Amino acid sequence: MNRNRGLLTAAVPLLLLGACAQPGAAGDTTAGAPVVESTAASADSKQVALRVEYRGGFVPAETIPSRLPRFTAYADGRLLSEGPAPLIYPGQALPNLQEVRLGPERLRELIAEAVAAGVKTGTDFGMPGVADAPSTRISVVTAGGEQVVDVMALSEARPDDGALTKEQNAARKRLAGFLEKLDAEFAGSTGPAPKPYRAERVAVLAQPYQDTGDGAGGSPVRWPGPDLPGGYLNEQLKINCLTVEGAAKDAVWAAADKANERTPWESAGKKWQVRFRPLLPEETGCDSLLRQA
């Protein structure tokens, strides 16, 4: 069995795309609606073109800053996502971040498919009668500007939910179908196989270690990087953060590869609980995680 971790928000810069000269509004799924296609203004490896992420949901607050997006696509045609991880306790210390190189042309097709599936600001997906479920936020940037939808309980809502209309259920089904296409792209079933993505920088989220008494974390491990815990990211939750890069990042990564989520790390005379958040290409440091802290 496998599991995927949660996801994180980041700003979506502009990717300029053209549209066919047909009647109808961009993103309209009715007959005769235009298809967003054309070319990217640049093949910037840090320019976000499409993002899918989860927001909220019934999850521990301290895990939110370390969330990764479900999918992030860049203008150069790369698609990043967290791959499967063994369903074990304690889980792996490091997230299994992977990338697929689709190329700019396939990326343009995906953006057109997203718009056709209803990723257009203002699309009505309704509000189902489901509690504690996350919302799915999808962003794309077209010639008409950034298009964003935020759909509550996309996977959890039942088709017979009385709070949803027939039209809203149909819109949800189209959007879910688009996400299935992204899953297929990332699984390598319709294109290149994913490969491990090694981030240039890693955010280290540290909290005072809480011993649960089950021994699951094993023996304390000496921290190989700069002294923990770093500065406060969220003072209320006592979450600290520091960014490691270069040789320090390599040493931390090698040590974390042998650890698990409950490993106690010893630094500055104390024990710390650590979560590792690889920073995405457009993210520069702990400040990039503040929106989720």
Evaluate the CA torsion angle 237, 153, 185, 116 in order and state its sign. negative
- What are residue 240's DSSP bridge partners? 206, 232
Taking the C-alpha atoms of residue 79 and residue 185, their distance in angstroms, rounded to an integer, is 9
pLDDT confidence tier of residue 286, bands split at 50, 70 and 90: very high
pLDDT confidence tier of residue 191, bands split at 50, 70 and 90: confident
Q: Is the pLDDT at 84 greater than 80, yes or no?
A: yes
**pLDDT above 70 covers what percent of the chain?**
84
Contacts of 259 (CB under 8 A, 6+ apart): 93, 221, 265
Q: Is the pLDDT at 31 greater than 70, yes or no?
A: no
Taking the C-alpha atoms of residue 108 and residue 114, their distance in angstroms, rounded to an integer, is 10
44 vs 266: which has the higher pLDDT: 266
**In which region does residue 27 sit, left (phi positive, over 0), alpha (psi from -120 to 50) or beta (all else)?**
left
For residue 111, count other CB atoms closer than 10 A to its CB.
Answer: 25
Q: Is the pLDDT at 6 greater than 60, yes or no?
A: no
Alpha helices in 102-230 (DSSP H): 104-116, 166-187
Q: Is the pLDDT at 172 greater than 50, yes or no?
A: yes
Taking the C-alpha atoms of residue 255 and residue 264, their distance in angstroms, rounded to an integer, is 12
Top mean-pLDDT range of 23-27, 33-37, 45-49, 202-206: 202-206
b/e sequence 119-134, b meaning 16+ C-beta within 10 Å: bbeebebbebeeeebb
- What are residue 207's DSSP bridge partners? 273
pLDDT at residue number 292: 58
Taking the C-alpha atoms of residue 204 and residue 252, their distance in angstroms, rounded to an integer, is 9
